[in-house]
Amino acid sequence: MPTAPAFIQAESVSREYRLGETIIHAVHEVSLNIAKGEFLALLGSSGSGKSTLLSMLAGLDRPTSGAIHVQERNLAELEADELARYRRETVGMVFQTFNLLPRMTLEENVELPLRLAEVDRGERDARVGEALERVRLGARRKHRPSELSGGEQQRGALARALVNRPAILFADEPTGNLDSVNGEQILLLLREIQDSLGMTVIMVTHERPLAERFANRIALLADGRLVSDGVQA
């Protein structure tokens, strides 16, 4: 178990969905402390609740019960605008399906979080360039997502997640839509960024070998419950 002070602290977090008379416990009583600078892999099979837990940690969803403390704020109690601010300023997100806006060029996609955060226009270009150079896409900034390969799109999504210099990077199955070569490249990049920027990375995956290779801690979920939580050697 980690001994460093908790940067993110989940306390008995549950998330239930009601389908008619049936209540589905997507996440049940999960408690988890994540230290600053950790690379945590949330591992589990389909329907284990790992993506739901990630959504709550990223401030996209709220727990039905329990608390999530990040930087002395309980996400479960934040107003909608404060939660949006948390997503804007503290969090970067990478999705399985890349989620780049198809009608925008790569640089416009990467600029989007800066627009939302009301960063000065004069500063934006340099920040976009820096983020794209970091993921080695500096030459593709004028291309639209449809003109990029899957691996390039995911690197573009990573640049968009990094441009606001977040403290925590969430990645939901970042290799799910990629072949093994591109998948490995993305995870190498993730690891490199984590090392150089010192950010906390929380990744959801169902591929144990990838998790074991890149994460320094694995939390295993099954049926919405935390089954095991261990630091990698």
Contact 214, 186 (CB under 8 A): no
By beta-carbon proximity to another protein, the closer residue of 145 and 183 is 145
By beta-carbon proximity to another protein, the closer residue of 83 and 210 is 83
Contact 53, 30 (CB under 8 A): yes
By beta-carbon proximity to another protein, the closer residue of 144 and 213 is 144
By beta-carbon proximity to another protein, the closer residue of 36 and 88 is 88
Smallest gap from residue 136 Cβ to another protein (A): 22
Smallest gap from residue 101 Cβ to another protein (A): 6
- Residue 43 β-bridge partners: 205, 220
- Residue 90 β-bridge partners: none
Reduced DSSP (H G I as helix, E B as strand, rest coil) percent helix, strand, coil of the chain, to 5? 40, 30, 30
Smallest gap from residue 88 Cβ to another protein (A): 3
Smallest gap from residue 5 Cβ to another protein (A): 26
Q: Which residue has the tokens 């070998």?
A: 209
130 Cβ contact list (under 8 Å, min separation 6): none
Residues that bind another protein (CB under 8 A): 55, 58, 60-61, 80-81, 84-85, 87-89, 91, 93, 95, 99, 101, 103-104, 112-113, 115-118, 160, 164
